[in-house]
Amino acid sequence: MIPASFTPILATALVVAQWVGSMGLERLNRSHTEATRGKVPEAFQETVSEATHAKSIDYTLAKSRFADLSGAVEAAVLLMALWSGVFPMLREAWVGSGVGGVWRDALWLFGVGMLLSVPSIPLEWWAQFRLEARFGFNTTTVGTWILDRVKGMILAAVLGLPLLALILKLVDWMGGAWWIWAWATLLGFQILILFLAPVWIMPLFNKFTPLPEGSLRDRLLRLGEKTGFNARTIQVMDGSKRSRHANAFFTGFGRFRKIVLYDTLISQLSEEELEAVLAHEIGHHRRRHIPQRLAWSSVTSLAGFWVVGWLAARPGFAGAFGFGAEAGVAPALLLFGLLSSPVLFWFSPLGNLWSRRHEYEADAYAKAAVGSAIPLMGALRKLSEKNLANLTPHPWYSTFHYSHPTLVEREAALRS
C-alpha cells in the first residue's frame, strides 16, 4: 500500500513522465523526418513530387512544434489542478451553495471539467486558424468554429450531467458495489449514443445528403450487395465546411447503419478509388472490428471503474490532494479522470498495434472485394498526398501515435 503522502508525488511523476516522453518522441520524429528532406522514399519517386514531399515535412514539423506547446500547457494545467488546491476550494464553496444531493457533485464535476478545458481553447483556435490555415486545410469560419464549441458544450451538459448524477446516485443506492453498476450504466449509455449519434447528434454539426443517383451510387450499392453489407443509404457529409481533409466512415447499427462519404473525398478520388475505400470500410464491418473494439473498451472501462471504486474507498487518496474525507466519490472520479491520460499514454502502442492490424485486415478485404489492389493504392496515395501525410515517421513515434500503418507499409502489404 502506497502511503498517502507519496500519492501526489507519484501523480506528479506520471504527468511529468508523459510530458517528457511525448516531447522526446516529437523531437525524435522531427529530426528523423527532417533528414528525409530532398529524398522522396524510393517507392514514391514517380508519384510524389519533390515540392509535395517538402511541404509534408514542413507540415509534420509545424504540427510537432505545436504538439510540444500543447503538451506543455496540458502538463501545466494538470499539475496546477493537482497541486494548487483550487478544486477542493471550489468544492467547499460550492457545498455551501444550497444545491444538494447528487446534483451538487455532478455540477461540481461538470464545472471543473469545463474549467480544465478553457486553456485548450486558444490552442484549438491557433491549430485551426493558423496551423491548418497555413497549409491550406482550413475552411472553417470563425462563426462555425464558435458555434461548434457552444453546441458541444450544450450537448455535454444535456447528456453528461444526468449521466454523472445517475452514477453518483448509484453510490447511494448500491454501496460498495456501486462501480459495477456505474460501469453497466455507462456501457448502456454508450450503446445508446451509438444509435443516437447518426440520427440526432451528427446532424447538429454537419449536413448529410443522400448520394445522388448516378454511376457512383450504382457502383457503391453493387459493392454493398456483393459484400452482403446492406446499408440503407449512402450519405454525403459536408466535410468541406470545416476542412479540406477527407474521410469516409460508417456509423450506427442495424437499421440505423449508414455509410458516410465526405464531399471532400468524393471530389478527390475517382469512382474506382471510392469503391475501394468503401470496400475497406466494409472490411472493418465484415471482420467485426467494431464489436471487438466495443468489447475491449468495455473491459478497460470496467477496470477503470474498479480503480475508482478502490480509490474512493480510501479517503487518504483524495485527502492527499486536499479533499475532506466527507467528499465521497466525486473527488476520486475527478482525480482518476486527471490521471488516466498520463497512465494510458504508455499503453497507446498496444492499442495502435491492434488498430493497425485491423487496418491491414480491412485493406486485404478491400483488395479481395474489388479484385485488385490498384484502386485502393491509388486512393491511399492521393489521400496521403492531399493530407500531406508523413511518409516516414520515426518508428517509435508511429508506435505511440499512429493508429494506421503508413502509406509505405500499407502498399507493401497490399503488394504481397
Q: How far is the CB of 355 from Zn ion (least distance, A)?
A: 8
Question: Whose Cβ is closer to Zn ion: residue 277's or residue 335's?
Answer: 277
Question: Which range binds Zn ion by CB under 5 A, 69-77, 88-96, 189-197, 360-368?
Answer: 360-368
Q: How far is the CB of 403 from Zn ion (least distance, A)?
A: 9
The yes-or-no answer on residue 238 being catalytic is no
DSSP structure string for 73-136: HHHHHHHHHHHS-HHHHHHHHHHTTS--HHHHHHHHHHHHHHHHHTTHHHHHHHIIIIIIHHTT
Question: Whose Cβ is closer to Zn ion: residue 116's or residue 362's?
Answer: 362
Residues β-bridged to residue 259 = 234, 250
Question: Whose Cβ is closer to Zn ion: residue 362's or residue 377's?
Answer: 362
Catalytic residue among 132, 273, 275, 363: 363
Q: Name the E strands within 233-335.
A: 233-237, 248-251, 258-262
Q: Which of 137, 135, 133, 189 is nearest to 158 (CA)?
A: 189
The yes-or-no answer on residue 363 being catalytic is yes
Q: How far is the CB of 282 from Zn ion (least distance, A)?
A: 10
Question: Which range binds Zn ion by CB under 5 A, 35-43, 287-295, 355-363, 388-396?
Answer: 355-363
Q: How far is the CB of 392 from Zn ion (least distance, A)?
A: 21
Q: Are 329 and 91 in contact (CB under 8 A)?
A: no
Catalytic residue among 281, 359, 385, 411: 281
Question: Which range binds Zn ion by CB under 5 A, 61-69, 189-197, 233-241, 351-359?
Answer: 351-359
Q: Which of 207, 273, 215 is nearest to 235 (CA)?
A: 207
Establish how many alpha carbons lie within 13 A of residue 256's alpha carbon, considering only the half-sphere containing its beta carbon. Answer: 14
Q: Which of 83, 17, 43, 73 is nearest to 335 (CA)?
A: 83
CA-to-CA dists, residue 260 to 12, 31, 263, 328, 370, angstroms: 43, 37, 9, 44, 19
- Binding-site residue total for Zn ion (CB under 5 A)? 2
Question: Whose Cβ is closer to Zn ion: residue 334's or residue 362's?
Answer: 362
Question: Whose Cβ is closer to Zn ion: residue 106's or residue 370's?
Answer: 370
Report, as residue numbers or ranges, the catalytic residues: 281, 363
Kindly list the residues in this chain that would bind Zn ion in the complex (CB under 5 A): 359, 362
